[in-house]
Amino acid sequence: MPYEHPSPAGSPDTVLRLAELGFDAPGALLARYNLTLQRVDDGAPIPGSFWGDEEAGIIGTTVYARADTPLHSLLHEACHLIVMPPERRLDVHTNATDSIEEEDATCYLQIVLAEALPGVGRDRLMADMDAWGYTFRLGSTRAWFDNDAAEARAFLASRQLL
């Protein structure tokens, strides 16, 4: 498996959070995929969050996030919903997949979608993923994306998501 999701413990302060970016652009991006971004009040628990704390959550076709939610977390959870067949989305609550193929495709797509957000882009998102603690067998997000993600690209292409 080329990727393991990080533990949110000890999250760095350097990653881009929704408070800095705002909710409008990510909400519009999610809407292109028939998903809804639901803002959660500061300090309130995030519904459907697998990792807890400030990590985004998913229930059905809704992605939940607070102002302190890292953008990479919001994109990751949204991409879980995007890569799965639409008929499975309504049944999702908290845990999106146990499929390595879907997990890898999710990581790849979150990097691609970062390009659609003003002032973000793939370089920033990959740096944030590394800072947060995502681990890939080639040592960095960029090395994986550039050199070890052919299966993820093929998965996404087969679903017409690239």
* Residue whose C-alpha is closest to residue 35's, from 93, 107, 86, 102: 86
pLDDT averaged per 10 residues, the chain (length 162) = 47 85 98 97 94 91 97 96 90 84 94 97 94 84 94 96 94
Question: Residues 6 or more apart from 13 whose CB is under 8 A from it?
Answer: none
Parse the chain into domains and list their residue ranges.
14-158
Quote the pTM value: 0.91
Average pLDDT, the chain: 90
Question: pLDDT of 81-104, one tens digit each?
Answer: 999 988 888 899 988 876 889 999
